[in-house]
Amino acid sequence: MKSILVPVEDHDRMTEVLQTALLLARQFDSYIEGIPLGPDLAEMVAADFSMSGVIFDDRTRREFLRHARETFEGFMAAGGIPRRSDDAKGLTFGWNGETLVSPNSVGEYGRVFDILTVGRPGPASNEPHRATLEAALFESGRPILIAPPKAPPTLGTVTAIFWNGSSETARSVAFAMPLLLKARDVVVLAVPGVRWPGPSDAQLARSLRRHGIPARVVELKPGKAPGLALLDKAAMLGADLLIKGGYTQSRLRQMIFGSVTSEILAEATLPVFMAH
């Protein structure tokens, strides 16, 4: 995971997103690139965000761009992270953006990175936007790391895997192998009633152990909603990373009936590694 893309948005949790990305980057001496993301006007209207008095003209765009760059570069400078140059190696950063880009453009550009880091979305206008997460997940073909509202002190020391047998989760586990190989403990969580045709939890753990990964299975008791039970167990185990597949069901079906993914996106307090 040598290259990490961070869409820089105007919301109150941007520092936590950058802190989470840096936790990952320090493990692999990665290059972190920031790209400025403009406000999604359609999402603002859908969320009943008042645009009264706001003129989104060229001057406003330049102000968004300036603020995004200062936020990103200021964070990196405060952390002592060097800027990437032709001869620079190891942990470095760079900035790409003279104009604001859309969430879909971020997803497309993310195809040449190993992973994208975004914030856990929320309903308020000052929280990370769901459109950014979904564009990164569905358009990039790459995994995403979802930063929680409060960045953790560690990442991937104890890793929980929500295994449901699906191809999306298998893809997530495959993308996460560099992190799993560094983990002190890997717990495959078996959630009752949430299963797709595919290998069992024990078979996944056995496969991971062949790589030297200390994987074990923990079964959850039925009762609470699956997503909440999963997060509670992960917290009880001291997990600082959760790996799961992204949207095994269609997004429309999940919006109507609810889902594990929706519950986790609403409540997770640990970083979530996800691929579709």
> What is the CB neighbour count within 10 angstroms for residue 213?
17
Q: Are residues 10 and 140 in the same domain?
A: yes
Helix (H) or strand (E) holding 215: strand 215-219
Q: Which domain holds residue 44?
A: 3-147
What is the count of structural domains for the chain? 2
Query: Domain boundary at 112, 147, 182, which?
Result: 147
SS3 assignment, position 117: strand
Confidence (pLDDT) at 44: 44
Note the pLDDT of residue 39: 64
Residues 39 and 77 in one domain: yes
Domain boundary among 147, 180, 203: 147
Q: Is residue 153 in some structural domain?
A: no
Decide if 208 is inside a domain: yes
Residues 15 and 64 in one domain: yes
Q: Where are the alpha helices (DSSP H) in 47-180?
A: 58-78, 103-109, 130-139, 167-175, 177-180
Residues 6 or more apart whose Cβ sits within 8 Å of residue 59:
none
Which 8-state DSSP code applies to residue 124? Answer: S
Cα–Cα distance for residue pair 89/80, rounded to 1 Å: 14
Q: Is residue 152 situated within a structural domain?
A: no
- CA 248-158-115 angle, 5° bins: 50
Per-position pLDDT tens, the chain of length 276: 999 999 999 899 999 999 999 999 999 999 999 999 986 544 444 444 444 445 556 788 888 899 999 999 999 999 999 998 766 679 999 999 888 899 999 999 999 999 999 999 998 888 999 999 999 999 999 999 999 999 999 999 999 999 999 899 999 999 999 999 999 999 999 887 777 788 999 999 999 999 999 999 999 987 778 889 999 999 999 999 999 998 755 544 444 334 788 889 999 999 999 998
Place of tokens 């497309």: 108
Each as own residue / partner, the long-range contacts of residues 228-234 (CB below 8 Å, 24 or more positions apart, any chain) are 228/263, 228/267, 229/191, 230/160, 230/162, 230/189, 230/191, 230/260, 230/264, 231/263, 231/264, 231/267, 231/268, 231/269, 231/270, 233/160, 233/189, 234/160, 234/187, 234/189, 234/270
Beta pairing partners, 94: 33
| Cα 76 to Cα 71: distance, rounded to the nearest angstrom | 9
User: What is the C-alpha separation between 14 and 147, in angstroms, rounded?
Assistant: 9
Q: Enter the tokens of residue 37.
A: 């993301």
Beta strands 185-190; 272-275: pairing state: unpaired
